[in-house]
Structure 1
């Protein structure tokens, strides 16, 4: 009987330990009212009104200069957008979606005879054991997996995001 109790107790401890390392964090601080991305400085700030709550280094699309014009151009969009969705099963740990393309983006791409693309996210790393030294995404904004866990917990759908050159 003692052996069975020890095995069950050990199994419960392992199960509880796994729960504490969840990628889904809780956040009880001030509301994030705005996200600002400065592409040239490679920084993303989470703001509560005019106060910076968090400031993260970022990686961008592999062709970081300029506004995203069409699918596959490797650029990260510029302008005012909103966080509009979240993906808990992202290939990049976790991700929050940006509502690109807007009507202007669609019009610009169509004038070039191209698709504007979509699926622009703030997401984690493709391989957390590797430190990316250069911009590597197809137009998304990348942070570390630990940082995307914080962003995922702090930023709500509907939050405005300003992406500047």
Structure 2
């Protein structure tokens, strides 16, 4: 009996190590109505945030990457049909540049929201240059409150039909914004390209 205890203990340790270091299972699914592609991992606990987001305005896509590469793609819409960089408050354009998520909250109208650090130093510098060059009026303000957020639950169709409706934010379908919100932490880097 005594010589079986070390064998049982070794079997338990080997099983634990096998489960801990087995490659994470990836699941891919496609939803044809929204052209969403999601790749999920079973991994839950990270020491550091592995995510970063790249948004392409010309492709109407928000892509999430993690430390293993591409993670998920969500269709999205923006403010104005003019997809150039945001110049000033009120132009309804979505800004280009590198940002980060600074706050997660539930908005009373469109729910899940990831607030970005717009305007940041890069945005302020571009704004000042454009003002100095006379591209925008001297009394213009830079604006703020740019976020990645959901549509209203009954208005997911705006994403299906590429209806840019925000004041400069990035908008995902309500259900897909809920999914993004569930795993993206504060501090996640976000790049928005034209």
Alignment TM-score > 0.5, same fold = yes
1:85 to 74, 99, 103: 103
What is the CA distance between 1:104 and its match in structure 2? 3.3
Give the one of 127, 131, 135 matched to 2:157.
131
| Unaligned runs of at least 5 residues, structure 1 | 1-26
The answer to whether the Cα contact below 8 Å between 2:103 and 2:186 also exists between their aligned partners in 1 is yes
**Greater relative contact order: 1 or 2 (C-alpha under 8 angstroms, separation 6 or more)?**
1
Q: Are 2:179 and 1:150 aligned?
A: yes
| Alpha-carbon shift at residue 130 of structure 1 (Å) | 5.3
Q: Radius of gyration: which is bigger? A: 2
| CA displacement at 1:86 relative to structure 2 | 1.3
TM-score scaled by length of structure 1:
0.76
Residue in structure 2 matching 1:39, options 57, 62, 65: 57
| TM-score, reference length from structure 2 | 0.65
How many residues were matched structurally? 139
Dislocated runs of 4+, deviation >6 Å: none
The unaligned stretches of length 5 or more in structure 2 are 1-40
> What is the DSSP-based 3-state SS (H/G/I as helix, E as strand, rest coil) of the residue aligned with 1:88?
strand
Q: Does 1:98 align with 2:98?
A: no
Question: Distance between the aligned counterparts of 1:125 and 1:161, measured in 2?
Answer: 19
